[in-house]
Structure 1
Amino acid sequence: MTLLDHDPAAATALVVRALGPLVRAEARAEAPAAGLDPADLEQGVWLRLLERPGHAGPPADPARWVRDSVRAEARRGRRTARREGPYAGGEPAAGPAGCPERAALGAAEHRALRAAVARLPGPCPRLLTAMLDPADLTYREIAGQLGMSQGSLGPIRSRCLGCLRRMLAAEVVAPSVRG
């Protein structure tokens, strides 16, 4: 047993010293494409190293591990940037999830639309339900699911939407003009 086996901090310091230039170079190369600060990317890689199970020694293939870790951290940074937005400064978000009232109204509108679609005649409920599916099916997938030809989906969809518009227009009270 060596001194490094008894002192994990010394082993970690040795690994950091040995891999430092490689991590720095890889982070500087990947950071611009990911839209990240190279120092932040580098810090994420060092955290990965410390979080490895049995991190007392260097990885088996240090160059590959560094390259893979830097790329994984860059992907994580890109995902985070896509999901996070700047703080609006106290204003509620513009979308339906911005506040409970908007969320409730959005859910009520969604339920009303689904109920109206269910009341449509003929193949319309099945067709529009398939088109409103969160899985965002293609026309080919919808045609296969409904047993219709792909070319007939557009005209049938158009007729169904016209029928839905007429049905909803009759249910919605027109706003009165106030004078």
Structure 2
Amino acid sequence: MYLVTELSPLLAAEAAAEAAAAGVDAADLEQAVWVRLLEQSPAEPGRWVRSAVRAEARRARRRARRELPYAVETFESHTGEPNTVGPYAVEPYADPDTRPERAVLAAERRRAVRAAVRRTPGRCPWLLAALLSPADPTYREIAGELGMSQGSLGPVRSRCLGCLRRMLTAEVAAGGPWGKER
């Protein structure tokens, strides 16, 4: 308790003096120094406070130069008028499909589909892998690769896709192992 009562006025004054130049709130600077004080417990706390405030202010200035704020999305309110979240009215991604969370979800879906494809029976894994291939082979190439007639490729593909659909539907309905939510 002694440290708090003795150092509070000094810390508040030092933080107020350094905060403007660092571009941070004085209270945030104070809090950072209190945390460092608890971590280090210096021998001469008065002298240490002055140097710690300056060090935290330098750290805040460096951080401000490196960090860029996220752009804030514009959205429509229930009244149909545009609203913003935060101080900026910026649309960070022109195309909603380029948002990072959409890319992660799409990658997760691709992984789930490819894992289910590997578990399908018979020739299905090879056939479905060929159909999902980025090389986009023709039916003639797929039939030649699998040693099947081109005419039987359609019905086999239909059965394989039906099997895959049932597998994925069962997995989505279950939500996880033994039907438990994840």
User: What interval of TM-score do these two structures reach, taking the shorter chain for normalisation?
Assistant: 0.3 to 0.5
Bigger Cα Rg: 2
**Scaled by the length of structure 1, what TM-score is found?**
0.45
Higher relative contact order (CA 8 A, sep 6+): 1
**Scaled by the length of structure 2, what TM-score is found?**
0.44
